[in-house]
Amino acid sequence: MHRSLIVARFDPRDSEAVAEIFAESDRTELPHLLGASSRTLFRFHGLYLHLIEAEHEIGQGVNEMREHPLFADIDKRLRGYIRPYAPNWKSPADALATPFYTWEG
């Protein structure tokens, strides 16, 4: 199982709207096209944390899917709510946290 954690900024009052955007998207084929098996959204003091679990690393798949109409739609809809955390953000890959320890029982 591969996990990707996206870190960004947002207003926690927008949690419901962001969750609904993802709920609508998750009812399409997009998660399967990306290879995602689950998604969990977290909020913490103005931070948006987006955990994606998949059978393989999805970073390359995200870059390849950026032009797909379903991906472009969700990306456009989220822009009003989600802001980059890193000041030099250029692509979704720039928002991925780097794991430095993992334990599984």
Question: Which pLDDT does position 45 carry in this prediction?
Answer: 96
Is 31 contained in some domain? Answer: yes
Q: What is the mean pLDDT of residues 25-31?
A: 95
* Helix ranges (DSSP H) in the chain: 15-26, 30-34, 59-65, 69-78
pLDDT at 15: 98
Query: Could you give the CA distance from residue 39 to residue 54 in angstroms, rounded to a whole number?
Result: 9
In percent, the amount of the chain with pLDDT more than 70 equals 97
Which position has the token pair 């379903």? 70
Token pair for 39: 């998604």
Q: Which domain holds residue 40?
A: 2-95
Phi-psi region of 35 (alpha: psi -120 to 50; beta: other; left: phi over 0): left
Tens digits of per-residue pLDDT, 56-77? Answer: 887 666 777 888 999 999 999 9
Q: What is the pLDDT of residue 30?
A: 93
In a domain, 89, yes or no: yes
Residue 76 lies in a domain: yes
How many domains is the chain built from?
A: 1
CATH assignment of the domain containing 43: 3.30.70.1090
Confidence of residue 79 (pLDDT cuts 50, 70, 90): very high
On whether residue 74 sits in a domain, the answer given is yes
